[in-house]
Structure 1
Amino acid sequence: MNSELTVLDIILNSGALEIMVMLILLGMSIASWTMIIKRSQVLSEASRKAIQFEDRFWSGIDLSQLYKEVQARKDDLTGSEQIFYSGFKEFARLHRSNDKVPEAVMEGTSRAMRVSLSKEVDELETNLPFLATVGSISPYIGLFGTVLGIMTAFIALGAMKQPTLATVAPGIAGALIATAMGLFAAIPAVMFYNRLTNKVSKLEHTYATFMEEFSSILHRQAFAANQEK
């Protein structure tokens, strides 16, 4: 009879604490996969938008015209577009009031873009710490469930007059399932945490490079305008 037990039968015949541990691990696994899929889509979209905007930026379009286009949808800006919008807006504001002090103009412009860069990176990193947490604690939660299951199996074994392997095997198997579920939750979480973190780092580098290049253009404009006066 025991040889016909399925994994589901073993789980259902486990103790209440073991089942609770398995449910926790199952919930963590579902939550991590949901975040993995969502973050992967967000980062892919962010990468696509960054390439698309930079192609537009370097197409030779007048920056004032590009700013007007971006301003028209300022509530939906992300990534390089948001950095450009914040920088150009601050540059135009400071240039009107400090046109004879280009250093002050560039300092304020750079500060505005750095703030935008920081906010964009924080947004990209949303939920990544949760994946790291799942990856680090799931094996221990699974091990806790395994210890509980083995303890229960050996207590039951001690109460039997003629114990056999067949009588305790389902209990031990159920305990080991908890460890397997812990690894099932942890391994994808760690793998995708590393992968997504690498994508965030690449996007941050892309944004920072764009910010420096844009700052150089604005720097030349600020000092050129000051020399003309």
Structure 2
Amino acid sequence: MQAEISFVHLFLEASILVQLVMLTLLIFSIVCWAMIFQRRKVLTSATQQLKAFEDKFWSGADLSKLYSEISAKKQIQGIESLFVSGFKEYARLRKSNISNPQIIVDGTHRAMRVALSREVDSLETHLPFMATVGSISPYIGLFGTVWGIMNSFIALGAVKQATLAMVAPGIAEALIATAMGLFAAIPAVMAYNRFSHKVEKLENSYGNFMEEFSSILQRQTAAEPLA
């Protein structure tokens, strides 16, 4: 008696509905893993960029020169986007006829707040999909298992003499759906939790920089006469 049955054999012998469940979970898993590697690269790059920018910013570099240097880049993102948005709005308001320094600082702060929201949305790309896969995959797999086992018992009831060998392959086919659901869900949940924590840390760092930069511009505005 052959005790080993390949996964491909079990898949081919499963009902159409169970096969669709398995294919859906396989697609979920492949897409989710692609997103995991992509998000890991993006968040690692954002963390490295944050450290490099803060080192340069707090080294006493001239803000105008730093703005010109970053603005010359083809793609501005992360904390650099907050700095460019804030300094650009600050320079624009300074050249206007606004006489109240607080209005200048508030306008600069709002510009950076918009940039912060945009960057956080970018960092959170694909995270909702991971959360969805992590929450629904076990249930999709369980549905396939229930359906497969139900069909096995229906077929078992149609014969006069039932044996374990007759029902075992059908149950094995059905249980693979649950296994695939867990295989798709577990990495998705782990990645979602880890990446959400990283995004939260980056958002806090961006927020802290935004407040500190606003304070610097406020002191600079108070110290220099308005144009």
Same fold by TM-score, threshold 0.5 exceeded?
A: yes
Contact map agreement 1:136 1:186 (CA 8 A) in 2: yes
Q: Distance in 2 between matches of 1:184 and 1:71?
A: 45
Q: Is the 8 A contact 1:135 1:185 kept in 2?
A: yes
Contact 1:2 1:170 in 2 (8 A): no
| Per-residue Cα deviation, 1:41-70 (whole angstroms, up to 9, x for no partner) | 100000001111111111111111111111
Q: Does 1:198 align with 2:189?
A: no
Structure 2 residues not aligned, in runs of 5+: none
RMSD: 1.3
2:130 corresponding residue in structure 1? 131
Who is 1:32 aligned against? 32
Q: TM-score when scaled to structure 1?
A: 0.96
Matched, 1:46 2:46: yes
Name the structure 1 match of 2:78: 79
Q: What is the Cα deviation at residue 8 of structure 1?
A: 2.3
Q: Is the 8 A contact 1:53 1:81 kept in 2?
A: yes
- Distance across 1 between alignment mates of 2:53 and 2:98: 29
| Secondary structure of the corresponding residue to residue 162 of structure 1 | coil
CA contact (8 A) 1:2 1:166 kept: no
**Do 1:21 and 1:145's aligned partners in 2 also have CA atoms closer than 8 Å?**
yes
Identify the residue that residue 155 of structure 2 maps to in structure 1: 156
Q: CA deviation at 1:100?
A: 2.7
Q: CA deviation at 1:4?
A: 3.5
Matched with 1:3 is 3
Query: Are 1:153 and 1:172, in contact at CA under 8 Å, matched by a contact in 2?
Result: yes
Q: Whole-Å Cα distance in 1 between the matches of residues 131 and 108 of structure 2?
A: 35
2:18 alignment counterpart: 18
**What's the TM-score, normalizing by structure 2?**
0.97
Ranges of 4+ aligned residues in structure 1 off by more than 6 Å: none
Secondary structure (helix, strand or coil) at the match of 2:61 reads coil
Give ranges in structure 1 of 5+ residues lacking alignment.
none
Q: How many residues align?
A: 227
AA aligned to 1:53 is F
**Aligned pair 1:168/2:167, yes or no?**
yes
Counterparts of 1:53 and 1:178, CA distance in 2: 48
Q: In the alignment, residue 72 of structure 1 is paired with which amino acid?
A: A
Which stretch has the larger CA shift, 3-12 or 51-60? 3-12
Identity %: 61
SS in 2 for 1:100: coil
